[in-house]
Structure 1
């Protein structure tokens, strides 16, 4: 079952061992592999409603035809504007933003009279086994990201999504989700420190290994906290596996994180959207 189906409604080059295998649905850059070149599949509108941003992409089984994003605070407007797109065969939706985004997507599907696939983490889906104590409590965006990473690489991965919060999820060589962490993202750490301590400089800092002012100290400390969390996860996972996992980076702060990680890593810009399309293409709706 692919999800809940509702009707109507200094840059580093990746180490060779981390090169991805061809993705059955989406290759690098969203391009299809050989089996998909001869024909297009149904149009799928994938929507990822996150804490601060709503991202979307229209996919035809071969490539992304259109993509965009908007503020979650304006969910009704952002999603309402999607009605201008070509009518898709189905809409697949990952939502951690709340009821306003959900209602806007239902209205859109009703207007189009198309199926809505709500991404709901399963015990097993798209080759990935969900190890959460209660699979449905896992965030749908985390689940979609793991599905996409497994489809791309087919080996042990640490899937890091660095946005408002940073998640780091471990998928082993058998496609089993072993567990993961959630920590405040870089911007959220800076905001929390500024709001909770009047003594801290609210100026814009920059990274420095030896900060000599408060703004730089806060900026650098928050960034190194995230880097340290990822490195710790990599070290522990590598010890369990016997080999290092592929580090897959996504989210708005992925580039910032990779610049200071000092480990080989793969950046995938639209990882969650790729996972949403993978799930929606597995026959969620009859």
Structure 2
């Protein structure tokens, strides 16, 4: 039994998996999953009951919350579960993917894991969009070539920027699935439709760039993969074929920490 954790800047999610082999191919059997609210879950009084029930033999973690959080998480897991936490790291190459960064340690490990998982699913080029506190867009080219990417503020960050630096643009969040993106005729609609429109605009431009690159390389149309907390919302608003893969970051842990 393996516990996998995806610790973001504000929230974390987890899953417990049992790795089984079917006709020589490792398959991940998810036996339990959950998510934490914003905050430092490792300071709480109790850990999720499923962790204590299944008592995982290993824990592998994607952490972008900083070194202090990493040390605290490792200590809590060692104390309560008796396991040594295995943290994923970015390397120049892994799982057939070559990192575009010359300083690989500057690439967020969550971005790296999502790209690795995307390539494991299919060797075809892809735009991998992780819609969290920040929205990251990573371009995976032909033959496992990571082409770099973009980072833009997520929906929550953009809203907080409007709250802090404006007077009349403080509106309540309203993001129903499949919502209209027509121009707002009230400030509330103008904000709530404008924020996802900005993210979708970034996705469109990045996808167009990758399409052109693939055409020049003689490759077909790339895939669009969405993950992260706001992935489902943005998937409901876009106009391109996509795959919504909520566990994409955790899927990559099997490659960095086999």
TM-score interval, smaller chain: 0.7 to 0.9
Alignment of 1:49-198 (within 5 A): 49-61=7-19, 62-77=28-43, 81-82=47-48, 83-98=51-66, 99-198=68-167
User: What's the TM-score once normalised by structure 1's chain length?
Assistant: 0.78
The answer to which structure, 1 or 2, has the higher relative contact order (CA under 8 A, 6+ apart) is 1
* Cα distance in structure 1, aligned partners of 2:10 and 2:110: 13
* Cα distance in structure 1, aligned partners of 2:62 and 2:75: 13
- Identify the residue that residue 213 of structure 1 maps to in structure 2: 186
- Asked whether the equivalents of residues 57 and 83 of structure 2 are also in contact (C-alpha less than 8 Å), the reply is yes
In the alignment, structure 1 segments of 5+ residues that lack a partner are 1-42, 282-286
Distance 1:94 1:85, change over 3 A: farther
Distance 1:226 1:65, change over 3 A: same
How far does the alpha carbon of each residue in 1:172-210 deviate from its partner, in whole angstroms, 9 at most, with x for none? Answer: 121111100010011221121122101214234564412
- Asked whether the equivalents of residues 160 and 250 of structure 1 are also in contact (C-alpha less than 8 Å), the reply is yes
Distance 1:142 1:120, change over 3 A: same
* Cα distance in structure 2, aligned partners of 1:181 and 1:79: 38
Distance 1:215 1:266, change over 3 A: same
Distance 1:152 1:197, change over 3 A: same
Deviation, 1:170, is 0.5
- Asked whether the equivalents of residues 89 and 256 of structure 2 are also in contact (C-alpha less than 8 Å), the reply is no
Q: 1:257 aligns with which of 234, 238, 243?
A: 234
Q: Which moves more between the two structures, 165-174 or 69-78?
A: 69-78
- Asked whether the equivalents of residues 94 and 255 of structure 2 are also in contact (C-alpha less than 8 Å), the reply is no
In the alignment, structure 2 segments of 5+ residues that lack a partner are 20-27
Count matched residues.
239
- Asked whether the equivalents of residues 97 and 119 of structure 2 are also in contact (C-alpha less than 8 Å), the reply is yes
* Cα distance in structure 1, aligned partners of 2:250 and 2:197: 28
- Asked whether the equivalents of residues 64 and 108 of structure 2 are also in contact (C-alpha less than 8 Å), the reply is yes
Distance 1:102 1:49, change over 3 A: farther
The answer as to 2:197 corresponding to 1:224 is yes
Secondary structure (helix, strand or coil) at the match of 2:40 reads: helix
* Cα distance in structure 2, aligned partners of 1:78 and 1:228: 39
* Cα distance in structure 2, aligned partners of 1:180 and 1:225: 16
Cα RMSD, aligned residues only: 1.9
How far does the alpha carbon of each residue in 1:49-86 deviate from its partner, in whole angstroms, 9 at most, with x for none? Answer: 10121111111113111111103413214695055142
Deviation, 1:150, is 0.8
- Identify the residue that residue 273 of structure 1 maps to in structure 2: 250
